[in-house]
C-alpha cells in the first residue's frame, strides 16, 4: 500500500490497523486526510492480504476530534455542498466495504470523528471516549452522514437531542444507546479486543461476511428491498465453494478452511 502523510498502516495476519496520525491536531480530519482514507480504502477493497480493518486515532486523547475548522471556516454554499458530498462518498466506501471495519475509539470522537466512527461496521471504546455532533455550535450541521447514521444507530429522539444541544456522551451512555459495542479499560486492552473480534470474524467465510454487510446496509437504503437483497445474497452464497466447504466441514466435524471463493 502507498505511504501516507496522515495515516499509519500496519497489517497483522490480515487485520489492517489504519491509524489517523495527526495527534498534535487531535487527529482532526482535514481534506488531505479524507483523500488519504479514500486511497487507503480503494486498496483495501481489492487487497487479498487485508481481511478486516481497525480504524483508530494516534495518541490517548482523541480518535478524531472533528473536522479541520480552519478549512470549514472558508466554505460557502457552493463549495460547502462539494465538501459534504466528498466526505459522504468516502465514508460510504467504508460503510459498504465487504471487509469488516471496526472503529477503536480512544478519547474524543466528535463531529466528523463521530461520523467516521459511525461509518464503520462496529465500534469499541475506552472509558475516556466522548461522542458528539456539536456542529450547531459553528452554525452548521453534520455533513458527512451524521444526521442519517446517528438516527439509525440510536433512534430519532435521542439523535435529534444530541445534534441540537451539541452535548457529548461518554462511553457508557454510548454503549447503552447502541452506539458502542464494547468498552475496554485501557488503550492496550482496546486494541487487543478489536483484534480479537476481527480475528474471530476473519475465521468465517469471507463471501458470507461481505453479504451480511450488504444485507444489513440494504435495510437503510430506500431504493433497495432488504429482504430481496438477503434472498439474492443467500442464493449467491449457495453457489460458492465456501458454502460447500462449510457444510462439508460441519458434517465431518472439523474446522472449515474458507478461501473466499
CA distances from 261 to 41, 90, 148, 202, 235 (A): 21, 27, 34, 14, 14
| Site of grid cell 461481505 | 210
Question: Among residues 175, 13, 204, which one has the least CA distance to residue 100?
Answer: 204
- Candidates 77, 115, 172, 189; catalytic one: 115
Q: Which residue has the cell 459498504?
A: 96
Judge whether 48 and 16 are in contact, CB under 8 Å: no
Catalytic residue among 77, 135, 224, 230: 135
156-165 and 146-154 helices, crossing angle to 10°:
130
Instruction: Tell me how far apart the alpha carbons of residues 34 and 177 are, in angstroms, rounded to a whole number.
Output: 28
Task: Look up 115 and say whether it is catalytic.
Answer: yes
| Partners of residue 15 on adjacent β-strands | 12, 52
24 catalytically annotated: no
> Grid coordinates in use for 111?
463531529
Active-site annotation, residues = 115, 135
Amino acid at each position: 500500500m502507498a505511504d501516507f502523510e496522515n495515516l499509519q498502516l500496519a497489517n497483522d495476519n490480515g487485520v489492517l490497523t489504519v491509524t489517523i496520525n495527526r495527534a498534535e491536531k487531535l487527529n482532526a480530519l482535514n481534506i488531505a486526510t479524507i483523500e488519504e482514507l479514500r486511497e487507503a480504502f480503494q486498496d483495501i477493497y481489492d487487497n487479498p492480504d487485508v481481511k478486516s480493518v481497525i480504524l483508530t486515532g494516534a495518541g490517548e486523547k482523541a480518535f478524531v476530534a472533528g473536522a479541520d475548522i480552519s478549512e470549514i471556516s472558508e466554505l460557502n454554499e457552493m463549495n460547502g455542498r462539494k465538501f459534504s458530498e466528498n466526505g459522504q462518498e468516502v465514508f460510504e466506501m467504508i460503510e459498504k466495504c465487504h471487509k469488516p471495519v471496526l472503529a477503536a475509539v480512544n478519547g474524543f470522537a466528535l463531529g466528523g470523528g463521530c461520523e467516521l466512527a459511525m461509518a464503520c461496521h462496529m465500534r469499541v471504546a475506552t472509558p475516556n471516549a466522548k461522542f458528539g455532533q456539536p456542529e450547531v455550535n459553528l452554525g452548521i450541521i453534520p455533513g458527512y452522514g451524521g444526521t442519517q447514521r446517528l438516527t439509525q444507530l440510536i433512534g430519532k429522539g435521542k439523535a435529534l437531542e444530541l445534534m441540537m444541544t451539541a452535548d457529548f456522551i461518554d462511553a457508557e451512555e454510548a454503549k447503552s444507546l447502541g452506539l458502542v459495542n464494547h468498552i475496554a479499560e485501557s488503550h492496550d486492552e482496546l486494541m487487543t479486543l478489536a483484534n480479537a473480534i476481527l480475528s474471530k470474524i476473519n475465521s468465517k467465510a469471507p463471501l458470507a461476511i461481505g453479504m451480511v454487510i450488504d444485507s444489513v446496509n440494504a435495510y437503510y437504503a430506500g431504493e433497495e428491498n432488504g429482504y430481496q437483497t438477503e434472498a439474492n445474497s443467500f442464493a449467491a452464497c449457495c453457489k460458492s465453494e465456501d458454502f460447500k466447504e462449510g457444510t462439508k466441514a460441519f458434517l465431518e466435524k472439523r474446522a472449515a478452511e474458507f478461501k473466499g471463493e
